[in-house]
Amino acid sequence: MSTDALRLELRGITKQYPSVRANDAISLRVQPGEIHAVLGENGAGKSTLMKIIYGAVAADAGEMRWNGEPVSVKSPAAARALGISMVYQHFSLFDTLTAAENVWLGLDQRMTLAEVVSRITEVAARYGLAVDPLRPVHTLSVGERQRVEIVRALLSEPQLLILDEPTSVLTPQAVESLFVTLRQLAERGCAILYISHKLDEIRALCHRCTVLRGGKVTGEVDPREQSNASLSRLMIGAEAPALQHRQAAPGAVVLGVRALSLARESPFGTALDGLSLQVRAGEVVGIAGVSGNGQQELMAALSGEDVRAAPGSVTLFGQDIARAGPRQRRALGLHFVPEERLGRGAVPTLSLAQNTLLTRTEAVRAGGWLQLGRMQRLAEELIARFHVRAGGAGAAARSLSGGNLQKYLVGREIDARPKLLIVSQPTWGVDVGAAAQIRGELLALRDAGCALLVVSEELDELFEISDRLLVIAKGRLSPSVATADAQTETIGEWMSGLWPQEAQHAQA
């Protein structure tokens, strides 16, 4: 590869944190118009490297060259001035501002807010990314926020676009639209750095792939000439273990939802319209759907965050819990993993040990006294069992990579031995090995008699672990269908709300 033609070149980039060397003498080269994947397991140093390129983190050593010239990028604003845009895995949006106001902050201030609104609408329509520019960010689901981030990056017309897990909460249809967008950008000369744990995506989209392990480059390949198995071996040193999914033997009804209707709490929320479903002991029920179709509202009603449901519309082991709070529901055996890791699943500034106290009470004695040693041991056991890369039980939640924090939070609830586990986006942002482990743990819970309700925007995941599937669209639920009888195309149609009307309330 000629160095004269390089859009970006990294030479010997090193970054040391107190407990880990995130990047160890990394070199990377990207040409104009190239879609270049960066692949590695959770904690391999991918996100740190991208933040160095974007100016959000300073390297301790090494050199960065931009269009052949040495540069020192000291801030994201400096990166944007060069023509570098980034979409973070953890979003960088202000909750109290609208989508348009968030986009405006990152653009040339010569544009008026009204012009930004118009440009967002235009770009969103061109690339098939549904974004309402006037909605406050705090009313958006995770998938909708990701679309705002992507549109914001596209509006700056970058020469280099960095995407960190861009499809983790997008539907298959939205992923295909995004790929069309990325290929169009590449054809115009934009270089793209693409981080994903989805090996099929990398093989379908990317021209080259740099593999990281333990902060070091371990290989560079053409992913189009690789199999999923060979990429997995390069990334984690082994193939992802195959799931052992035995046929379910459902028992008694654990969770019952009957004619659940809720008015929207905000002008931008989704009203729930007559939702009915059952989840039995020893089965996994999956709910598919495009982000923003009522998933958040349903999860709030089931977890106890929203207690407006009509009496009798939500039951647990036959007991009415429609107006019960989260603590009461946990006491009955219901545990919940929200889709937002930082802020809801974990307190960012607290240690992993302290974050166990959000849902676990083993270390709490009568009168509220804490057994610090037991709290520490629980966190250490979770770190070991779920292979979490962290600086120990005392590490702050925000110091973990997204995938490692996800493993810890899902593990915290799995380890609690729930009778009913409700989990939203269980493997968002985790590598193939960790995803296989989490899915295996969920199936082991099921086989032990736990009832599981899984909400995910990854259809492949739902087909892999679910015994039955439903689709949520516009605040309504589709009929229930056995996964063995379901077709991807049919589920995709149902995600638009197009299911047989006469079967809407026919729940298994």
pLDDT digits over 252-266, tens only?
A: 999 999 999 999 988
- CATH number of the domain where residue 449 is located: 3.40.50.300
> Between 420 and 172, where is the model more confident?
420
Q: Among 218, 236, 254, which residue terminates a domain?
A: 236
- Please check whether residues 202 and 302 belong to one and the same domain: no
Residue 201 domain-assigned (yes or no): yes
| Counted domains in the chain | 3
- Please check whether residues 444 and 328 belong to one and the same domain: yes
| The pLDDT of residue 503 | 42
Instruction: Name the CA radius of gyration of the chain, rounded.
Output: 23
| The pLDDT of residue 468 | 96
User: Could you tell me the pLDDT band of residue 504, with boundaries at 50, 70 and 90?
Assistant: very low
Q: Give the residue-averaged pLDDT of 220-247.
A: 81
Specify the DSSP class assigned to residue 364: B
Q: Give the residue-averaged pLDDT of 292-314.
A: 95
Give pLDDT tens digits for 146-201.
788 888 888 888 999 999 888 766 666 677 878 888 998 899 899 999 998 888 88
- Please check whether residues 151 and 38 belong to one and the same domain: yes
- Please check whether residues 378 and 408 belong to one and the same domain: yes
Residue 506 domain-assigned (yes or no): yes
Cα gap 172→145, rounded to integer Å: 17
Residue 339 domain-assigned (yes or no): no
User: Could you tell me the pLDDT band of residue 3, with boundaries at 50, 70 and 90?
Assistant: low
Specify the DSSP class assigned to residue 248: P
Cα gap 497→381, rounded to integer Å: 43
User: Could you tell me the pLDDT band of residue 67, with boundaries at 50, 70 and 90?
Assistant: very high
Q: Answer for the pair 152, 179: CB distance below 8 angstroms, yes or no.
A: no
Share of the chain above pLDDT 70, in %: 94
Q: Answer for the pair 470, 479: CB distance below 8 angstroms, yes or no.
A: yes
- Please check whether residues 413 and 424 belong to one and the same domain: no
User: Could you tell me the pLDDT band of residue 323, with boundaries at 50, 70 and 90?
Assistant: very high
- Please check whether residues 277 and 404 belong to one and the same domain: no
Q: Give the residue-averaged pLDDT of 346-355.
A: 96
Q: Is 467 helix (H, G, I), strand (E, B) or coil?
A: coil
What is the residue-wise DSSP string for 438-461? HHHHHHHHHHTT-EEEEE-S-HHH
Is the model's pLDDT at 507 over the cut of 50?
A: no
Q: Among 183, 213, 236, which residue terminates a domain?
A: 236
Q: From edge to edge, which strands make up the β-sheet containing 319-320?
A: 272-280, 253-262, 314-316, 319-320
Token pair 């997204």: residue: 402
Q: Among 186, 215, 236, which residue terminates a domain?
A: 236
Residue 27 domain-assigned (yes or no): yes
Residue 7 domain-assigned (yes or no): yes
Cα gap 504→275, rounded to integer Å: 9
Ranked by mean pLDDT, which of 52-61, 240-249, 400-409 comes out on top?
52-61
Residue 482 domain-assigned (yes or no): yes
Give pLDDT tens digits for 86-143.
987 667 788 889 999 998 887 767 788 999 999 999 988 877 777 899 999 988 877 7
What are φ and ψ of residue 292, in 5° steps?
Answer: 90, 15
User: Could you tell me the pLDDT band of residue 508, with boundaries at 50, 70 and 90?
Assistant: very low
- Please check whether residues 384 and 356 belong to one and the same domain: yes
Residue 340 domain-assigned (yes or no): no
| The pLDDT of residue 1 | 53
| The pLDDT of residue 254 | 98
- Please check whether residues 312 and 190 belong to one and the same domain: no
- Please check whether residues 413 and 423 belong to one and the same domain: no
| The pLDDT of residue 143 | 72
Residue range(s) defining the domain that contains residue 50? 3-236
Is the model's pLDDT at 461 over the cut of 80?
A: yes
User: Could you tell me the pLDDT band of residue 501, with boundaries at 50, 70 and 90?
Assistant: low
- Please check whether residues 406 and 357 belong to one and the same domain: yes
Is the model's pLDDT at 386 over the cut of 80?
A: yes
Residue 355 domain-assigned (yes or no): yes
- Please check whether residues 283 and 396 belong to one and the same domain: no
Give pLDDT tens digits for 271-297.
999 999 999 999 999 999 887 899 999
- Please check whether residues 132 and 13 belong to one and the same domain: yes
User: Could you tell me the pLDDT band of residue 505, with boundaries at 50, 70 and 90?
Assistant: very low
How confident is the prediction for the chain on average, in pLDDT? Answer: 89
Q: Nearest CA to 422 among 399, 442, 395? A: 442
